[in-house]
Amino acid sequence: MTATVRTRTTAAGRAATAAGAGTAAGSTTRGRPAAGFALLGAVQTTLIFTLASLAVPLPRIGDELGLDRADLLLLSAAYGLTFAGLLLFGGRITDRYGGRRALTAGLLVFGAASALAPLAPGYGPLLAARFSQGLGAALVAPAAMGVLRTLYPAPAAYGRAMATWGGLSVLGATAGNLLSGVVSAFTSWRWSFAVPVAVTTAALALAPRLLPATPATGRAARGLDLPGALLATGGITLASYGLVRTDARPWGSVAVLVPLLAGLVLLGAFALVERRAADPLLPPAFLRDRRRGLGLAAVSLTASGTAGVFVLLSLGLQRDRGWSALLTSGAFAPFAVALLVAGRAAGPLIRRHGAGRATAAGLGAGAAGLALLAATGFDPATPYACGLLPGLLLLATGAAVSFAGAGVLATEGVPPERSGLAGGVLNTAMELGPTVVLAAVLTLGTDAASLAATALGFAALAALAALAAPASRPT
């Protein structure tokens, strides 16, 4: 994909770009950025694949291990809880110690947990492995973006790379749902962990040859902002856990209110600490850029919409239509094809019309797809080709373009030394969005109402992006 983004030509920006270019030129990967991007892209896709890989086989896991609904919900959410909770800290570690070093450490943790998970004899070890996977992923995701910035030091080239990077997450989620259904139909659910093990092994072997040795920025442990890291991690994890529990408990229950309120208190304390910290984990000024805020909101909402469709339709097709796990996964195959086709077209669209307008167009198409699915997708009498398929194709097209444009908006103008921070914030928005939005819309009572409410959110943000679009046209 290609995209041209507006760049800032301040002296500091030119100096940062020159420094990044010097680093890339001095690495052993000069002339091979495409191979490095392919490796990083495979890793990023696998992180999100792992998030969705247990969605379809959860009933079989429950039968084999004797788990109730609450246990299964926690098992499904465990990876995302630690992943989202530790992303900001992972971004800080990346910026302090260098992208490739942080990437290697994260891959070792993620790979070891992925290898131990299928060997788990019971619920406890399996749950611990899922939590550990999230811990490794929280370090890998921002580190991958830090290395990506070194691969493409020129702002325009980095913008083109981010236009492609933005669509990798929804591709990973789609692949996770598709493959998990196939695995569930023909073999044990434990084989769902084969993909992360294989990709991690390959990445560890190829990283020294394909990825540049990104330099550390120094200040070691003194600059890690450990109080901020502890407050952010605890706040995000507790609040997310409270929201996850709303699926099985009412909002006013102790199981929901205690972790939710505790998480909000910790996040409030985090905001106060960051305002006074000499070198904060999340500088308040980082989120004040309107384009960045719009991009992060679009990433969060698009992730919520696609995740909601995967969860609600997967359950509806098996529960209301009696479809098998394999047939349910097959229903999403056209979604994956449309995603790839639209992803290829997103770059030229951004180059021609700007990231803001592309994001608005993607959100508009996504809103139409969600509205169509809400109107026809949950009626068992509606044929797949007439009801589900058009909505899925529209949503996939819109999601691909929205993710691509939003990825550019969220990262343009970020200096190289803040690449890890940008990666942490971007992935946090992607992980927290589905948790927060789904917890809110699922209280509306029906699956169709939940998707309709999400469609309204897409339409509102599309209108906001369209109004702000002239400010983000390329120059």
Is the per-residue pLDDT at 205 higher than 90? yes
Is residue 328, in this structure, part of any structural domain at all?
yes
Q: Which of 94, 85, 461 is nearest to 295 (CA)?
A: 461
Give yes or no for a contact between 472 and 464, defined as CB atoms under 8 angstroms apart: no
Is the per-residue pLDDT at 22 higher than 60? no
Determine the pLDDT at residue 53.
83
Single pTM value for the model: 0.77
Is residue 7, in this structure, part of any structural domain at all?
no
Angle at 197 between CA 420 and CA 236, to 5 degrees: 40
- Average pLDDT of span 76-91: 86
Determine the pLDDT at residue 249.
78
Structure token digits, residue 302: 């698009």
Q: What CATH number has the domain bearing residue 461?
A: 1.20.1250.20
Q: What number of residues does the chain have?
A: 475
Determine the pLDDT at residue 415.
79
Determine the pLDDT at residue 233.
85
Is the per-residue pLDDT at 378 higher than 90? no
Determine the pLDDT at residue 130.
93
Same domain, 254 and 368: no
User: Over the Cα atoms of the chain, what is R_g?
Assistant: 21
Same domain, 291 and 271: no
Is residue 265, in this structure, part of any structural domain at all?
yes
Is the per-residue pLDDT at 131 higher than 90? yes
Same domain, 466 and 330: yes
Q: Which of 244, 242, 269 is nearest to 258 (CA)?
A: 242
Structural domain tally of the chain?
A: 2
Angle at 330 between CA 434 and CA 70, to 5 degrees: 40
Same domain, 112 and 127: yes
Same domain, 185 and 57: yes
Same domain, 370 and 458: yes
Determine the pLDDT at residue 223.
64
Determine the pLDDT at residue 206.
94
Is residue 217, in this structure, part of any structural domain at all?
no
Domain that holds residue 312: 31-211+279-472
Is residue 11, in this structure, part of any structural domain at all?
no
Is the per-residue pLDDT at 59 higher than 70? yes
- Average pLDDT of span 12-27: 37
**4 pLDDT tier (thresholds 50, 70, 90):** very low
Of 310 and 267, the structure prediction assigns the larger pLDDT to: 267
SS3 (DSSP) at 230: helix
Query: In whole numbers, what is the pLDDT of the chain averaged over residues?
Result: 82
Q: Which of 29, 205, 24 is nearest to 104 (CA)?
A: 205
Is the per-residue pLDDT at 6 higher than 70? no
Same domain, 232 and 364: no
pLDDT digits (tens, 9 = 90+) for 429-448: 887 777 777 666 666 667 78
Determine the pLDDT at residue 20.
38
Determine the pLDDT at residue 132.
95
For 314, residues 6+ apart whose C-beta sits below 8 A from its C-beta are: 55, 56, 177, 328
Determine the pLDDT at residue 216.
64
Same domain, 203 and 89: yes
Give yes or no for a contact between 164 and 404, defined as CB atoms under 8 angstroms apart: yes
What CA–CA distance (Å, rounded) separates 215 from 208?
14
Is residue 407, in this structure, part of any structural domain at all?
yes
Is residue 22, in this structure, part of any structural domain at all?
no
Is residue 131, in this structure, part of any structural domain at all?
yes
Same domain, 102 and 251: no
Greatest mean pLDDT among 24-33, 174-183, 317-326, 454-463 lies in: 454-463
Same domain, 243 and 296: no
Alpha helix (H) residue ranges in 187-288: 194-210, 226-244, 254-276
What CA–CA distance (Å, rounded) separates 41 from 13?
26
Determine the pLDDT at residue 240.
82
pLDDT digits (tens, 9 = 90+) for 243-290: 877 766 788 888 888 999 999 999 999 988 888 877 788 887 787 788
Structure token digits, residue 143: 């580190």
Task: Report the percentage of the chain scoring pLDDT > 70.
Answer: 88
Q: Is the dihedral of CA 91, 96, 99, 102 positive or negative?
A: negative
Q: How many CB atoms lie within 10 A of CB 13?
A: 15
- Average pLDDT of span 199-221: 80
Same domain, 203 and 315: yes
Angle at 245 between CA 239 and CA 246, to 5 degrees: 100
Same domain, 205 and 112: yes
Least confident of 12-16, 87-91, 163-167: 12-16
**366 pLDDT tier (thresholds 50, 70, 90):** very high
